[in-house]
Structure 1
Amino acid sequence: MLPRILPSPDGKPLPPKDTADAFRVFAQDLAAGRRPWTAAEADFLSGLFDQLAPAWDTTEATGRDDPLRDALTRGGPLPYAPCLEIGSGTGQFTPLLASTFPAVISLDLSEQMLCQAAGRSPTRLRADASALPVADASVAAVAAIDMLLFPAEIARVLSPDGVLLWINQLGQDGPLYLQAGDVAAALPGDWRATQSEAGWGSWAVLRRS
């Protein structure tokens, strides 16, 4: 755990508690293998984010990149290789990832989110993160920002020395929050994490031990 260097500003946008709690339990159970990911859930979330996409940047996005910026600065060494950004949404954080990695492939379940990302993410792919259209051990970096964790798929596509950037924009208040220890425990094999808090959120960079 690295010490915090980016303070938490006032005005943290807290999501509705009941909704956040329900999503958080779902995310934790999914990551731990206590519940399956189904086609019905994929269709529901795809439809939900398609509806939210047009106004996402103005009504839902935090507008702050503190956790990701801190992770890229202090979570290294990071590979100089293409990065797979899963759950990329409207591409709000893609340009920042592109400042570190030579290319960023943006992947999301929502077609409308990817349409909104057209000016930010030059390489976009609609796919389900539970079945990534990527070869085994072919990715050096995966970025997951406020994303559900599919541990077996991430472990499958990451190269032996690859890294996972796990970012929670609102920290433990976020609806998809998973602490670094739970992420490491869910991933197959032995993993270690460099982590910290930054701004309103938290981050972890995980590698195989």
Structure 2
Amino acid sequence: MTATLPRVLPSPDGKPVPPPGTAEAFRAFARDLAAGRRQWTAETAQFITAQFDQFAAHWDTTRATGRDDPVRDALARGGPMPQGPCLELGSGTGLFTPILTGAFPRVVSVDLSMRMLQQANGRSPWRVRADASGLPLATASVAVIAAIDMLLFPAEIARVLAPGGVLLWINQLGYDGPLYLPVSTVDAALPGTWQATESEAGWGSWAVLRRTR
């Protein structure tokens, strides 16, 4: 079941929409990966790592949108958040980590790219280089998973998230984003039963998916 909230934060002018063909190719990959129609391989992980290592030094000024409206709106209106550790997947240079650390007692930032994690020094106090398809975390060990412009690895998210835990699914550019997945697709891919709340904010969109069973 999904509840859709009305927008309260407007979309500013100047949205940095990526090239349609490139964005759709990435969205197709994200959909297929989430649905299990495509496998995540070591070669794919190496390719993604190399790309983001290359982008890291200039990410904040040339690649990142820098818009935090969807994250802030999700935390404000997505319902009560469990007060346990938060796992930030695909944390990059830590642009959004300070917002999460203001909401949760501990945030662990995970990324494939070591250079991205190095750029996050001063923003992310707990940084781990890891592949989100096989996290070095115990089962049911985190209360919240924040996935901001991230590929979806449903089985691993369900494994590490505690009963009653929450997934924050954020797309900074909404349906224009290269890794956008609608909440219905995310819900269908996740094992178990979930309740979702979603809305749009700024340039992007957010969903809070709460594990019920």
- Aligned partner of 1:48 among 34, 46, 51: 51
Aligned to 2:120: 117
Aligned to 1:200: 203
The amino acid that maps onto 1:84 is L
Q: What is the CA-CA distance between 1:75 and the residue it aligns to?
A: 0.5
CA-atom RMSD in angstroms: 0.6
Gaps of 5+ in 1: none
Q: Deviations 1:156-194 (Å, cap 9, x if unpaired)? A: 000111000000000000000001111010000111111
Q: Which runs of 4+ in 1 moved over 2 A?
A: none
Does residue 2 (structure 1) correspond to residue 5 (structure 2)? The answer is: yes
Aligned to 2:175: 172
1:9-88 mapped onto 2 (5 Å cutoff): 9-88=12-91
CA distance in 1, matches of 2:66, 2:112: 21
Q: What is the CA-CA distance between 1:63 and the residue it aligns to?
A: 1.4
Q: How many corresponding residue pairs?
A: 209
- Aligned partner of 2:152 among 139, 142, 149: 149
The amino acid that maps onto 2:202 is G
The amino acid that maps onto 2:37 is R
Structure 2 SS opposite 1:202: strand
The amino acid that maps onto 1:181 is S
TM-score (norm 2): 0.97
Q: Deviations 1:49-71 (Å, cap 9, x if unpaired)? A: 00000000000111110000000
CA distance in 2, matches of 1:98, 1:34: 35
> Sequence identity of aligned pairs in percent?
73
TM-score (norm 1): 0.99
The amino acid that maps onto 2:131 is D
The amino acid that maps onto 1:200 is W
Does residue 160 (structure 1) correspond to residue 163 (structure 2)? The answer is: yes
Aligned to 1:127: 130
Q: What is the CA-CA distance between 1:17 and the residue it aligns to?
A: 1.5
Structure 1 SS opposite 2:18: coil
The amino acid that maps onto 2:59 is W
Gaps of 5+ in 2: none
Q: Deviations 1:121-159 (Å, cap 9, x if unpaired)? A: 011000000001111111100000000000000000001
CA distance in 1, matches of 2:106, 2:139: 19
Structure 2 SS opposite 1:196: strand
Structure 1 SS opposite 2:91: coil
CA distance in 1, matches of 2:112, 2:123: 17
CA distance in 1, matches of 2:128, 2:174: 27
